Amino acid sequence: MVKISDLKVGDIIRNEFDGITRELLRRYAKVSGDTNPIHTNDAIAEKAGLKGVIAHGLFSFGFISKLFEDFLSGERDGKIIEIDIEMRAFVRCGDLLITEATVSKIEGKRVYFDVKQTTITKVDIKDKDGNIIKQFEAGERGYITQKDIDRGLVKTKEVEEGILTYRERVATPGHAIIELFE
Amino acid sequence: MDDEEIKKNAEFLIQNLANKEVPGHANVSVRYKNLVEFAKIYGITDPKYIGPEEDGIVACHAFANYFTVKALYKLLIGMKLIQDGKERPVVLNPGKLLHAGNKYNWEGCVDVKPGDKLKITAKWGKVWLIEETMVLFAELLVTVKNQNDELVCKPTVTVAVRPGGY
């Protein structure tokens, strides 16, 4: 059971999800009622200038509420009071979605968090000579822009098969408040 | 649509939407199956959210997305205004509509349960134009109550409409 005395400013809770697929977005569209085809149909998304389907704006939000539901053992240890987010960047199929909440303030039984969701978008893997040996959807569909490069969001790291190029950016910054029972 | 018309429409909407009630309401019937499917999308396994119906499950918090989308489609896209003697929708081209932000407040709220009949009402909050990009922003302050007139959620939706969409 999580108690107020267990927490301090700077503590971080997080989850990761790497299962964003077209099938999942189709399921989400059906249950949410948000059937805008830019989320489920690549041809329509391309016509809208999006280069491919994008996740629904509120789709990623569910991973923030799940983070707090898990932290509070399904609200058995406290209540979620508020979650407030900005939607700054698209989330796409194949992205690794990292949801992180950092305790920013504690007042009585209330705990305030800074929240951010970061996407890791794999582009390609190159060998030592710079030849592409594996390309991901972002590479094939050209999701990475010059602006991403100029902003320093595109990075590389060594992986088993070679050098991975990926983009790391904050898609959803925000805040949350929970209230613990003890 | 030229720049002058876009600016004129933005001024009209700022004057005629800010702090005004959205007429009408939207209704949502909460079904057990939908609640469970919603939770499963996020890999939720807690029986409180996905257990058998007879055990008295409640909606996970992400389910608020469901009635928020209903509010957007029914109340925002369905709303009409009179401009220069002619009826017009708030959003001329829904393809130019973006969801820019979302706040859910559950202070003093009760859980959503299967069988609930929710009533969604809304009013406009701030409406403003970013002149550099001519993107019009508006806050929609939503209230969601159940059949017992108990509050279940207070969403605030920030929408952005790109030029040509308003």
Burial per residue of B107-129, b for 16 or more beta-carbon CB atoms within 10 angstroms, e otherwise: eebebbbbebebbbbbbbbebeb
Beta bridge partners of A155: A166
Contacts 24+ apart (CB under 8 A), A35-40: none
Q: Is B51 a member of any domain?
A: yes
Radius of gyration of chain B (CA): 18
Do the domain assignments include residue B47? yes
Helix H, strand E, coil C: the string for chain A is: CCCHHHCCCCCEEEEEECCCCHHHHHHHHHHHCCCCHHHCCHHHHHHCCCCCCCCCCCCCHHHHHHHHHHHCCCCCCEEEEEEEEECCCCCCCCCEEEEEEEEEEEECCEEEEEEEEEEEEEEEEECCCCCEEEECHHHHHCCCCHHHHHCCCEEEEEECCEEEEEEEEEEEEEEEEEEECC
Cβ-based contacts of B103 with chain A (< 8 Å): 82-85
Q: Report the gap between the CA of A5 and the closest CA in chain B (Å).
A: 22
Q: What is the pLDDT of residue A79?
A: 98
Domain segments of chain A: what residues? Answer: 4-180
| pLDDT given at position B61 | 98
Please give the tally of structural domains in chain B: 1
Give me the pLDDT at residue B73, please.
83
Task: Count chain A–chain B contacts defined by CB atoms under 8 A.
Answer: 97
Instruction: Tell me which residues of chain A have a pLDDT lower than 70.
Output: none
Give chain B positions within 8 Å (CB) of A74: 46, 48-49
Whether residue B85 lies inside any domain: the answer is: yes
Mutate to test the interface with A, among B34, B36, B37, B42 (most CBs of A within 10 A): B42
Per-residue pLDDT tens for B95-134? 788 889 999 999 999 999 999 999 999 999 999 999 999 9
Nearest to A31 among B34, B70, B105 (CB): B34
Read off the pTM.
0.93
- B14: three-class secondary structure by DSSP: helix
Task: Tell me whether B113 touches chain A (CB under 8 Å).
Answer: no
Task: Kindly determine whether residue B61 and residue A58, on different chains, have CB atoms separated by under 8 Å.
Answer: no
CATH number of the domain within which B124 lies: 3.10.129.10
- Is the CB of A17 less than 8 angstroms away from the CB of B43? yes
ipTM score of complex: 0.92
CATH top class, domain A4-180: alpha beta
| A29, two tokens | 């569209």
* Nearest CB partner across the interface for A57, out of B42, B62, B99: B99
pLDDT of residue B71: 84
* Closest in A33, A62, A83 to B69, CB measured: A33
Six token digits for residue B139: 């806050």
Phi, psi of A30 (to 5 degrees): -65, -45
pLDDT at A17: 98
> Percent of chain B beyond pLDDT 70?
100
| Secondary structure in 3-state letters for B20-55 | CECCCCEEEECCHHHHHHHHHHCCCCCHHHHCCHHH
pLDDT in tens, B23-41: 999 999 999 999 999 999 9
Section B46-60 average pLDDT: 96
- Domain coverage including residue B12: 3-161
Longest CA–CA span in chain A (Å) reads 58
A30, A32, A79: residue with CB nearest B65: A32
The model's confidence at residue B94, banded by pLDDT at 50, 70 and 90, is confident
Position B156 in a domain: yes
Average pLDDT in chain B: 94
- Which tokens go with B5? 């018309």
Enclosing H/E stretch for B69 = helix B64-70
Distance CA B12, CA B3 (A): 14
Residue B166 maps to a domain: no
Residue with tokens 């600016």: B7
Is B136 inside any structural domain? yes
Determine the Cα–Cα distance for residues B128 and B61; give it in Å rounded to an integer.
Answer: 29
CA–CA gap between residue B67 and residue B118 (Å, rounded):
8
Q: Kindly determine whether residue B106 and residue A81, on different chains, have CB atoms separated by under 8 Å.
A: yes
User: Looking at chain B, how many residues does it have?
Assistant: 166
CA distance B112 to B107: 14
